[in-house]
Amino acid sequence: MLVCGLAAGGIMGLRSFLLRDFLIPLRIVRLSSDGRVSRTQTTRNVEGTAVTTKFLQTPLLCAATAGLAAFLVVSNSGRTDRTAAPREPGTALRVVVVELFTSEGCSSCPPADALLKRLSEQQSVPGARIVALEEHVDYWNHLGWKDPYSRNEFSQRQSDYAQVFGTDGVYTPQMVVDGQNEFVGSRSLAAREAIEKAANQPKTEIILVPSANSSPAKPAFEVQIKNLGEISVPGETELWIAVTEKGLQTDVKAGENSGETLKHAAVVRSLRKFDTLRDPGGYNHQIQVAIEPGWKKENVAVVVLLAEKSSRKIIGAAATAL
């Protein structure tokens, strides 16, 4: 009875923890040969939430709660073994790229959008300077709402990640940290842990500065890649250029998010591979980016990524506002 009483006392906190970090809404997508969604699955919908709530309010959970609580205590006590050592005081922040594959047509995605927005605005993860890339996929567009920020290139990038990670298809919302770790994009604890771990990994220093011959419609920048230092690169690397815009929001008129106002993090407006490099150390090149008339320049930023071609691991990045 004592165990059951203690468990009952902690049920509401446990319920909140489970719903936030474990029973996360997730859309798993199977694409047919023509690129259309052929099947979707939802890990938790409204009905499932109600069932879960009732279950968490019954005596059946008492013993299970006690066991799970003990498991979580043990699990949390061992997390420090999997996390890199804290950075020394005064050490410069390392850029960590956080990509989110999302869609305005997916009802599971708004919490992930909000998480990425919060992470990039608050910059509260120790040792990290978070660069957010919110990439809107296009495979939800025929299911009731056409996402105005979606591009097929982002769907293809997500598929390329799926091949590297060995995942069974693509899903939204999916968060990818530095091209190395992927998880459900709404999981705040997983996101913070992955970002902190990435911030403790060696990175190539990349300098991105405005060029003297810029124009308003096509700003130019100098990209310099310093010595790789401790980083050993197996094979070729790829240099990618992204243009992002923050402060965007949409009043959705149809589909799963009909009636909602969705606020976004830094939405990727364009993304392209600029160069393939065998030995990136000492690289110095000028790049130009195109800015569309409808974009608010005060909210636009340019991001460069250096990634291993085979593993897609991001080994260096830089970002600057226009």
Q: What is the CATH number of the domain that holds 207?
A: 2.60.40.10
Cβ atoms within 10 Å, residue 48:
13
Q: Is residue 17 part of a domain?
A: no
User: Cα(231)–Cα(94) distance, rounded to whole angstroms?
Assistant: 14
Q: Is residue 50 part of a domain?
A: no
Q: Is residue 137 part of a domain?
A: yes
Q: Is residue 246 part of a domain?
A: yes
Q: What pTM was estimated for this model as a whole?
A: 0.78
**Tell me, what's the pLDDT at 46?**
32
Q: Is residue 34 part of a domain?
A: no
Q: Is residue 78 part of a domain?
A: no
**Tell me, what's the pLDDT at 18?**
44
pLDDT digits (tens, 9 = 90+) for 266-281: 999 999 999 999 989 8
pLDDT digits (tens, 9 = 90+) for 176-223: 999 999 999 999 999 999 999 999 999 999 999 999 888 888 899 999
**Tell me, what's the pLDDT at 76?**
39
Backbone φ, ψ for residue 133 (5° rounding): -130, 100
Q: Is residue 280 part of a domain?
A: yes
Number of domains in the chain: 1
* DSSP alpha helix (H) spans, the chain: 2-9, 11-21, 46-56, 61-77, 110-122, 152-165, 188-199
Q: Is residue 175 part of a domain?
A: yes
Which domain, by its residues, includes 259? 94-321
pLDDT digits (tens, 9 = 90+) for 51-98: 333 333 444 444 444 444 444 434 433 333 334 445 555 578 999 999
pLDDT digits (tens, 9 = 90+) for 253-264: 999 999 999 999
Determine the residue type at 78: G
